[in-house]
Amino acid sequence: MRLLLLTALVMLAFAGNSLLNRLALAGADGTGPAAFALVRLASGAAVLLAIVILRSRKADWAALVRPLGAGALALYVLGFSFAYVTLQAGVGALILFGGVQITMFAGALLQGERIALRRWLGAGIAFAGLVVLLWPQGAAVPDGTGAALMAAAAVGWGVYSLLGRGASDPTGATAVNFALALPLGVIVFVLQPDGLGARGAVLAVVSGALTSGAGYALWYAVLPRLAPSAAAVAQLTVPVIAAAGGLLLLGELPGARFILASALVLGGVGLSLMRRSARR
């Protein structure tokens, strides 16, 4: 039950990132994706590094350095931020975590995990929901550039999650990853500078320090107790949460296509994570 509650809390944080990013970019204060991503990375790094230093002034920083993890985090944060220029909160989250599912299932197979038939069926149903959403048909199809950027972010987050299963110090590893990803955020901002309003800055700090920094540290703590395939499927609940938040906070009405896709996703998640009853 404790693992279930912690996982649910992490999923709420993930959905919060979609909403905060979309709220910032949809505002009228001129906040752009490069500036938002940079402030998000900087605030996450600052808060997490402060926590690690206060917790233990003799932290083994060298052991926490994982360039691949930092690169994967940067790919996720930057692709995520630029994708939400054109995507709605729920649609973006569905593309993101559908792609994460594919990435993490591939990683699970490469790591030799034996995936039960029930989980394969659940994953297939959930993936069918993503196909329903993205299948070309009229104006309901998401923007191609935004979808491609979010797919790149999905690969980054999937790799980041797979690497997190081996983290002995979740908070320290997350802090170092944010710090190492920050220069990449600076480079992107220099190459494509944009604006940052007061409202956007506040939302970026909340996203970086709370729903990203603290949320990812908690995710790294939960990951070792979840099979990679289970962790992948569990994250497919995020788009539905994000869509509900988008409806309440942004007035983004989900269409029939999204509702059908969400139903398939939730049904697949439920089937995949359901345990078989013990026989007497």
Question: Roughly what angle, to the nearest 10 degrees, separates helices 117-134 and 256-273?
Answer: 170
Both structure tokens of 112: 């030799």
Q: Is residue 280 part of a domain?
A: no
CB 228 within 8 A of CB 162: yes
Q: Is residue 102 part of a domain?
A: yes
- Cα–Cα distance, 59 to 73 (Å, whole number): 22
Provide the number of structural domains found in the chain.
1
- Cα–Cα distance, 138 to 278 (Å, whole number): 48
Both structure tokens of 3: 């693992």
Quick count: other Cβ atoms within 10 Å of Cβ 66? 19
- Cα–Cα distance, 144 to 77 (Å, whole number): 19
Q: Where are the alpha helices (DSSP H) in the chain?
A: 2-26, 33-55, 61-64, 67-83, 89-110, 117-134, 144-164, 170-191, 198-206, 215-222, 228-234, 238-250, 256-273
| Of residues 139 and 199, more confidently modeled | 199
Stretch 90-97: mean pLDDT: 81
| 13-71 per-position pLDDT tens digit | 888 888 899 889 987 788 999 999 999 999 999 988 888 888 776 667 766 778 888 99
Single pTM value for the model: 0.78
Average per-residue pLDDT for the chain: 82
- Cα–Cα distance, 129 to 261 (Å, whole number): 4
What is the domain extent for residue 31? 2-273
Taking CA 164 as the corner, what is the angle to CA 269 and CA 15, rounded to the nearest 5 degrees? 45
Over 50: is that where the pLDDT of 11 sits? Answer: yes
CB 94 within 8 A of CB 84: no
**Amino acid 279: pLDDT:** 40
Over 80: is that where the pLDDT of 264 sits? Answer: yes
Taking CA 48 as the corner, what is the angle to CA 170 and CA 202, rounded to the nearest 5 degrees? 130
Closest among 162, 153, 160 to 178, alpha carbons compared: 160
Q: Is residue 279 part of a domain?
A: no
Stretch 231-243: mean pLDDT: 74
